[in-house]
Amino acid sequence: MEDQVLESPSEDEAVDEDVAHFHFHISKNFTRRIDQYLTDRISYLSRAGVQRLINDGLVKVNGRVIKSSYKPHDGDEIDMVAPPKPVNELIPEPIPLDIIYEDEHFLALNKQADLIVHPARGRWSGTLVNGLVFYGQKWSSLNGNWRPGILHRLDRNTTGVMLVAKSDEAHWRIARQFENRTIQKTYIAICHGVPPLLADVLDMPIGKDKYIRERQAVRKIENGGRQAITKYEVREMFPLLPTAGLHNSEHASDKKLAAPPSGFSYIKLTPKTGRTHQLRVHMSAIGFPMVGDTMYGGRIIESGDFRFERQALHAAEITFVHPATLKTMTIKAPLPPDILKLLELLRPKSP
């Protein structure tokens, strides 16, 4: 017997939302490297892809991280975490879409929380794009088959207004405005504490965090950071509520972050650039993380049966030039129920 692969889905190839788990039991000594072995066993992964997984510590032999040059031996137990096998086409799904404007050129929607914009990293269903494909077939193709109509993105748990192009011409006309930074986007956030300057411009480059893959961080340009500029303005200030509890997330890296300041503030944010997690990183960097944003130092708020555990960030409005009429227009997205409830909780009650 050359080698054995356990066939039980619960042990060998368990697939969750984002990844597949593989387990191999080796019953002979091999002369070929482990990256070659795994590429042969999992046909949809390239050798370069397998090597990236090994470098990221996602392949272990007998519980230990190894190098691509390792050669499997008799008795080895190999465990691997990898992207699941990709699908060949987008699956239309009846995901609710809150359409706030639509014409023959584009539509604007108010994205709900807990919704990824497009398929990525093995998530092939349950995304906004799956809902768009179900809603209609007329979308621009400039971003490829997996991102039909998508002009820009919001984080999974950020709510608010998004534009989706229906034609290629509308797509490039609006995309040029994003590229030239002539589109004005306005967000609102609820943050821990109150900045001493009630209005300011934050000019701090942002790049990938050195230690945690999912995070971004303020980085010098020479260390991989890219220019990031955010204007903020404090609109309301709230005292600390004795009836509300603050909680950490369960992620080990989140628990290491310093406790946020007391009190809260309702802040208008206007980004001049569009870096990943820009608003979240900037507010955290000056010491006032967003409520619920445990990745960057925020805390979960709980009061009675109400629990707020996502970043309190909403894309409230967007101003741009219509791709056909060439007239300036502003589209606004109303606040979602959970942020309205949070504001109700924070605002002092009338006597």
Q: What is the DSSP letter of 226?
A: B
Contact (Cβ atoms closer than 8 angstroms) between residue 190 and residue 266: yes
Among candidates 288, 290, 71, which has minimal Cα distance to 159? 290
Q: Is 102 helix (H, G, I), strand (E, B) or coil?
A: strand
Cα Rg for the chain, rounded, in angstroms?
23
Active site residue 155: yes
Between CA 226 and CA 218 the distance in angstroms is 9
Full 3-state SS string of 124-155:
CCCCHHHHHHHHCCCCCCCCCCCCCCECCCCC
Q: Is 330 helix (H, G, I), strand (E, B) or coil?
A: strand
Between CA 143 and CA 151 the distance in angstroms is 8
Q: What is the DSSP letter of 227?
A: -
Among candidates 99, 176, 106, which has minimal Cα distance to 138? 106
Contact (Cβ atoms closer than 8 angstroms) between residue 108 and residue 102: yes
Helix H or strand E segment including 343: helix 337-346
Q: Which of 98, 103, 114, 155 is catalytic?
A: 155
Beta strands in the chain (DSSP E): 3-5, 14-15, 20-26, 59-61, 64-65, 77-82, 99-102, 106-111, 159-165, 184-192, 199-203, 206-208, 216-218, 229-238, 245-247, 264-271, 300-303, 306-308, 313-321, 328-332
Among candidates 110, 114, 173, 112, which has minimal Cα distance to 140? 173
DSSP string, 254-309: HHTSPPPPSSEEEEEEEESS--TTHHHHHHHHTT-PBTT-GGGT--EEEETTEEE-
What is the sign of the dihedral through the CA atoms of 185, 190, 192 and 196?
Answer: positive
| Residues noted as catalytic | 155
